[in-house]
Structure 1
């Protein structure tokens, strides 16, 4: 028993001394760069970037709300992770269900595509052409003609879609901490 406790203590010290995967990848990149191996340096830096993005996606996922009363929620989907096809950024999703109704909440954060969308959300007249404009916790949002709710919170594009009624989407949106999501991108 005493040997097991000692072994556990040594293992804990060794684990704590070991750097995390991101630090390891950066260190490997530095060593490769110093050795003149630019391909290996780039590969290690790309890995470090991907690992940081995964950590960001996991942190953003923590901001998705639990389901409202009477609803269930699927686990958060961070598999979209880095939205490379959109020039970078993160995409995470969570589906909420009540009977046959579904509402999917999606957050797209830190994407260059948001730069082109932000002006749209600051021009209420243009936004009105997309559907019904409303305020959500001090932010301009739109219920599109296709039944989606969209809004921008800082550097994050928030979208709610699905077969749920508009009121269902609004109820889930009410649970979203938009201040925390806005602070995420800073």
Structure 2
């Protein structure tokens, strides 16, 4: 099993390296075209390079998503929204997300991550205003280490939403449904590798 895992890791590294090499070629070609004053072609090559770099960045951030809790299983990290993984970092309004299912039960969790998304600006006021949190039904502040997060829990329908805003531009959120308590959503949010998210999303 360890041999298979090591082989998969090696293959993933090779694919990432091959894509990175392609980015270098695109940048070099874009520079050559720019120096030849073929500006339209240069822009095209550089836009392809930027798109590929965004994909590499998205792949690294996908690795920060938490493993499934005991008694749960998880799907692969995917994208939602109209622009795909690359658009997540280009203002396209997309996000990375991962689905979790309760083994032998009906519980569902969805972990979402957004970076530099316009929606984040709209939510930031909530995180910074205790009065707004207190005014919302079924909403309370929770702790992620020394930092604050927001939990909305509706016991009547078993739905939860745990949200954490980091550095004013990175939103991590866990939505849950058909839950017996808010604990799975809160625990999954707390299990996120925050240091890795901050490192991989640095600009």
TM-score using structure 2 length:
0.72
* Structure-1 separation of matches of 2:178 and 2:189: 12
2:78/2:98 contact within 8 Å kept: yes
The structure 1 segments of at least 4 consecutive aligned residues displaced by more than 4 Å after TM superposition are none
**Equivalent residue number for residue 69 of structure 1:** 70
1:76/1:92 contact within 8 Å kept: yes
**Equivalent residue number for residue 183 of structure 1:** 199
* Structure-2 separation of matches of 1:84 and 1:65: 19
Cα 1:172–1:82 change in 2 (3 A) is same
Aligned with 2:185 (options 156, 162, 169)? 169
Q: Deviations over 1:94-116 (max 9, x none)?
A: 11111321100011124355345
2:126/2:133 contact within 8 Å kept: yes
1:90/1:110 contact within 8 Å kept: no
What is the alpha-carbon root mean square deviation over aligned residues? 2.9
Larger Rg belongs to: 1
Q: Note the C-alpha offset of 1:184.
A: 3.1
Q: Deviations over 1:68-125 (max 9, x none)?
A: 1111000111473133697257621111111321100011124355345434322222
The runs of 5 or more residues in structure 1 that have no matched partner are: 1-15
2:88/2:115 contact within 8 Å kept: no
**Equivalent residue number for residue 100 of structure 2:** 96
Q: Deviations over 1:110-165 (max 9, x none)?
A: 43553454343222222334422222222211123673211112231001113143
Q: Does 1:87 align with 2:91?
A: yes
**Equivalent residue number for residue 8 of structure 1:** none
* Structure-1 separation of matches of 2:130 and 2:58: 30
State the number of aligned residues. Answer: 171
Aligned with 2:134 (options 128, 136, 154)? 128
